[in-house]
Copies of this chain bind each other. A is one copy, B any other.
Amino acid sequence: MKSNAFERLVNNLSKLPGIGQKTAERLGFHMVKAELSYLEDLSRSILEVHNEIRLCMNCFNLSSTDPCCVCLNTSRDQSFLCVVENCQDLQSVEKTSTFHGCYHVLHGLISPLHGITPDDLKIKELLHRLQKKTVDEVILALNPNVEGEATSVYLTGLIKPLEIKLTRIAYGIPMGHSLEFTDQVTLRKAFEYRVLL
């Protein structure tokens, strides 16, 4: 189909993360046939979200308020600080309803390969928060991959001297999985971090 509008739409869609040329075309074709009211609503909500949502200047969560609703919530324990890579991970932790402390969003992980250094992350801001001495425990909830490990090691080096309790979430066999199909690294970690019963 020769159409500038369609090509521009597909081009814009393919800039989104995880959306390749093929998927962008499929979405584009869907939109062409979609109802105008839906397209107007979608189009409007894309712009609205940019106007309405900002960074919480305390924990760097995305929120429609600053401070965000987690930081504002007085029933949450300000002495527990969970460090996450991004807002998606924060939401995943929130959905479990097991953590009632506060968060600090790094907005990335250290990755020399991708040119991401500690200065690109909200690490200075984390240290600044910790220096207020209101935090009793920092829990690192970073993804167990190379970048997550590198960031954990780096943060450990910075936080340990502050004499604040520092923990990280457990690595091991996911619930419901079978040992047979668990990869070797995970199984090794599961043994290494076995728990006394």
Q: CB-defined interface of A37-59 with B at 8 Å, one 1/0 digit per residue? A: 01111111111111111000000
User: Secondary structure at chain A's binding surface: helix, strand, loop or mixed?
Assistant: helix
Tell me the nearest residue of chain B to A28, going by C-beta. Answer: B49
| A185 CB-CB contact with B under 8 Å | no
Contact of A39 among B3, B25, B46, B88 (CB under 8 A): B46
Subset of 11 A-B contacts with CB under 8 Å: A2-B64, A3-B53, A5-B51, A12-B45, A13-B42, A16-B30, A17-B30, A18-B27, A19-B27, A31-B49, A43-B47
Determine if A87 and B1 form an interchain contact, defined as CB atoms under 8 angstroms apart.
yes
Interface size counted on chain A using CB atoms at 8 A: 54
For residue A171, CB closer than 8 A to chain B, the reply is no
Residues of chain B contacted by A165 (CB below 8 angstroms): none
List 17 other contacts, CB 8 Å, given A1-B53, A1-B64, A8-B49.
A1-B61, A1-B62, A3-B53, A3-B62, A4-B64, A5-B45, A5-B53, A6-B62, A8-B45, A9-B42, A16-B30, A17-B30, A26-B88, A29-B62, A33-B62, A43-B44, A43-B47
Chain B residue contacts of A41, Cβ below 8 A: 8, 12
- The verdict on A186 contacting chain B, using a C-beta distance below 8 Å, is no
Closest CB-CB distance, A99 to chain B, in whole Å?
Answer: 16
